[in-house]
Amino acid sequence: MPHTGPHAAGHDTGPGPGPAPGATGAAGSPAGQRGVQYRYHRELFPALHDWERTERSIVEFTSEEGPAGPGDGGLLGLDQMGHFGPQGCDLVAEAVIAHGAGPLDVCELGSGFGGALRYTVDRITAGGLRVRRAHGVDLVPEHCAVSRSINRAQGRAEVSDICASATAVPLPGASLDVVWVTGSMPHFPAPGEVLREAGRLLRPGGLLVLTEEVSLTPGGEEPSEAFRVTHPRGVFFTTPLADRLRDLERAGFTDVVHDDVTRWAVAWLTDRLKVVRVFRGSVAGIYGAASADLIRDTLDAARTEFLAARLSPALITARRA
In DSSP notation, 110-138 reads S-TTSHHHHHHHHHHHHTT--EEEEEEEE
pLDDT interval class at 81 (50, 70, 90): low
Identify residue 160 by its one-letter amino acid code.
Answer: S
Cis ω for the linkage preceding 103 (within 30 of 0): yes
Give which of 302, 305, 307, 308 is closest to 88, Cα–Cα.
302
Q: Can you tell me the mean pLDDT for 269-296?
A: 81
Q: When comparing pLDDT for 35 and 102, which is higher?
A: 102
CB contact at 8 A, 254 and 45: no
For residues 171 and 203, give the distance between their C-alpha atoms in angstroms, rounded to a whole number.
12
Q: What are the CA-CA distances from residue 316 to residues 121, 209, 211, 282, 296 (Å)?
A: 19, 6, 7, 35, 26
The helix/strand/coil state of 311 is coil
Buried b / exposed e along 12-40 (16+ C-beta atoms within 10 A): bebeeeeebeebeeeeeebbbbbbbbbbb
Q: Can you tell me the mean pLDDT for 184-202?
A: 97
C-alpha torsion angle, residues 76, 79, 80, 84 (rounded to 10): 110
Tens digit of pLDDT for each residue in 1-18?
333 332 222 222 222 323
Q: Which helix (H) or strand (E) holds 299?
A: helix 289-307
CB contact at 8 A, 137 and 110: yes
Residue 165: what pLDDT?
A: 96
Q: Which domains does the chain have, with CATH numbers?
A: 30-320 (3.40.50.150)
Query: Can you give 274-293 as a three-state secondary structure string?
Result: HHHHHCHHHHHHHHCHHHHH
Residue 45: what pLDDT?
A: 55
Residue 259: what pLDDT?
A: 98
* Least confidently predicted of 5-9, 129-133, 146-150, 285-289: 5-9
Tens digit of pLDDT for each residue in 28-76?
666 677 667 556 655 655 555 555 555 554 444 444 444 343 333 344 4
Residue 14: what pLDDT?
A: 29
The helix/strand/coil state of 170 is coil
Tens digit of pLDDT for each residue in 292-314?
888 899 999 999 999 999 999 99
For residues 87 and 271, give the distance between their C-alpha atoms in angstroms, rounded to a whole number.
12
DSSP 8-state code for residue 155: T
CB contact at 8 A, 143 and 7: yes
Greatest mean pLDDT range, 96-105, 144-153, 283-292: 96-105
Residue 150: what pLDDT?
A: 85
Supply the mean pLDDT for the chain: 81
Please enumerate in sequence order all residues whose Cβ is within 8 A of that of 32, keeping only pairs 6 or more positions apart, or say none.
Answer: 23, 24, 25, 26
pLDDT interval class at 288 (50, 70, 90): confident
